[in-house]
Every structure is written in C-alpha cells, then in structure tokens.
C-alpha cells in the first residue's frame, strides 16, 4: 500500500514539474524587446519581436533551438542579409523581405 502511494505521488510530481516548466515557456510575453549586438551604437530603437504571433504560426521547433536559442542571442542586419536569424524567413520567400517594409515594423520606441 505504502509503495503504491509513493508511486502515485511520484507520478503526480513528474507531471507537476512538467506542467510548470511548460507553462513558463508558453507564458513569456507576447512581445519581446530584443537585445542589441555588442559594440554597436545606434540611435535606432531596439527591435520588438511579436513572439506570440510567430508561436501561433509555427511550431516552437521551427525556431528553437536551431535558429534561436531559448536565451538571448544577438544578431545584426548583416546576419539577416546572409539568411540567418530573422533572415531565415523574412527573405521574400517564406515571408516579406526585411528591406521591403518600414523600419518601424520592427523598431518601435
Ligand atoms: C519565428 C521563430 C520563433 C518561434 C516559432 C518561437 N520562438 Fe521563442 N523566441 C524567438 C525569438 C526571436 C526569441 C528572442 C530571443 C532571442 O533572440 O534569442 C525567443 C525567445 C523565447 C524564450 C525566451 C523568452 C525571454 O523572455 O527571453 C522562450 C522561453 C521561448 N522563446 C519559447 C518559445 C516557445 C515555447 C515556442 C512555441 C510555442 C516558441 N518560443 C516559438 C523566436 C521564436
Ligand atoms: C520561421 C520563420 C520566421 C522567422 C524566423 C521570423 N519570422 Fe517574422 N513572420 C513570419 C511570417 C510567416 C510572418 C507573417 C507574414 C505575413 O503576414 O505576410 C511574420 C510576421 C512578422 C511581423 C509582423 C507581425 C504582424 O503584426 O503581422 C514582424 C514584425 C516580424 N515577423 C518580425 C520578425 C523578427 C524581428 C524576426 C527575428 C527576430 C522574425 N520575424 C523571425 C515568419 C518568420
Ligand atoms: C523584420 C524586422 C526588422 C526591420 C523591418 C528592420 N530591422 Fe533593424 N533590426 C532588427 C532586429 C531583430 C535587430 C537586432 C536587435 C536590435 O539591435 O534591435 C535589428 C538591428 C538593427 C540595428 C543594430 C544592428 C545593426 O545591424 O546595425 C540597426 C542600426 C537597425 N536594425 C536599423 C534598421 C533600419 C534603419 C531599418 C529600416 C531601413 C531596419 N532596421 C528595419 C529587425 C528589423
């Protein structure tokens, strides 16, 4: 009997941990203020990334961890031009090209 109860508590514990980890991953903000790459000084406001909109369009694994780690990567327009990070999709084929929209589409005060 005791063993059975321990097993049940163990199983609920595992589910509990899974639930907390999973919900934390999903409840990050709808918009993320991205970090500026080191050694770059520019007046341009930081890019705001609409995370939730992308989460609704794609599976997490489309971006994590191959394109973006779950942490805080830094990248510049040079990376986009060579098809990396946001440039993997915003290249005019998967989605609109970065150069075809207003700067304010991503850089908002
Ligand atoms: C279109 C690509 C894309 C998709 C799809 C995506 N993410 Fe992200 N995610 C990002 C970017 C960009 C960042 C910002 C961090 C960075 O630049 O490295 C980020 C950051 C995060 C972070 C860190 C949040 C923070 O506050 O710093 C977590 C956690 C995360 N994503 C979880 C998820 C989960 C869970 C899903 C699926 C439901 C998901 N992401 C889908 C691109 C994506
Ligand atoms: C996995 C592909 C993918 C990646 C990577 C990606 N995007 Fe997108 N993004 C899309 C698609 C698809 C749309 C919808 C395009 C449309 O509406 O025509 C979109 C839409 C957007 C929009 C407009 C959202 C709205 O309100 O309609 C912004 C802003 C944006 N992306 C910024 C970024 C930034 C910044 C990055 C890099 C941090 C990024 N995206 C990375 C696929 C991607
Ligand atoms: C698809 C979204 C998007 C658009 C459109 C966009 N940017 Fe960016 N930009 C980013 C992201 C993401 C970063 C990296 C985070 C940051 O530094 O804000 C960045 C970084 C930068 C940086 C610092 C790094 C570098 O490459 O020098 C400058 C300056 C910049 N952008 C200027 C501009 C200007 C000017 C325009 C309009 C001609 C523009 N951006 C349009 C997403 C975008």
Report how far Cα 74 is from the mean position of its chain's Cα atoms: 12
For the chain, which ranges sit under pLDDT 70? 1-2, 8-9, 11, 14-27
Pocket-forming residues, ligand 1, beta carbon under 6 Å = 25-26, 28, 32, 34, 49, 51, 54-55, 58, 60, 62-64, 68-73
Q: What is the pLDDT of residue 98?
A: 98
The Å distance, Cα 50 to ligand 1 centre, comes to: 10
85: left (phi over 0), alpha (psi -120 to 50) or beta: left
Q: What is the pLDDT of residue 58?
A: 97
Sign of CA dihedral 104, 90, 85, 70: positive
Answer whether 95's CB lies under 8 Å from 86's CB. no
Atom of ligand 1 nearest to the CA of 89: 1
What does pTM read for this prediction? 0.89
* Distance between CA atoms of residues 56 and 5, nearest Å: 40
Alpha helices by DSSP H, the chain = 2-26, 51-57, 60-63, 77-81
Superfamily of domain 28-36+44-109: Cytochrome C3 (3.90.10.10)
Pocket-forming residues, ligand 3, beta carbon under 6 Å = 34, 36-37, 40, 42, 44, 46-47, 75-77, 86, 90, 98, 101, 103, 105-107
Q: What is the pLDDT of residue 34?
A: 96
According to DSSP, residue 47 is labeled B
């Amino acid at each position: 009997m005791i063993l059975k109860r321990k097993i049940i508590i163990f199983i609920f514990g595992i589910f509990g941990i899974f639930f907390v980890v999973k919900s934390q991953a999903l409840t990050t903000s709808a918009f993320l203020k991205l970090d500026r790459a080191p050694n770059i000084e520019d007046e341009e406001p930081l890019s705001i990334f609409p995370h939730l909109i992308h989460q609704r369009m794609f599976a997490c694994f489309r971006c994590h961890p191959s394109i973006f780690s779950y942490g805080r990567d830094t990248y510049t327009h040079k990376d986009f031009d060579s098809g990396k990070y946001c440039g993997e999709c915003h290249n005019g084929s998967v989605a609109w090209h970065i150069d075809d929209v207003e700067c304010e589409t991503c850089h908002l005060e």
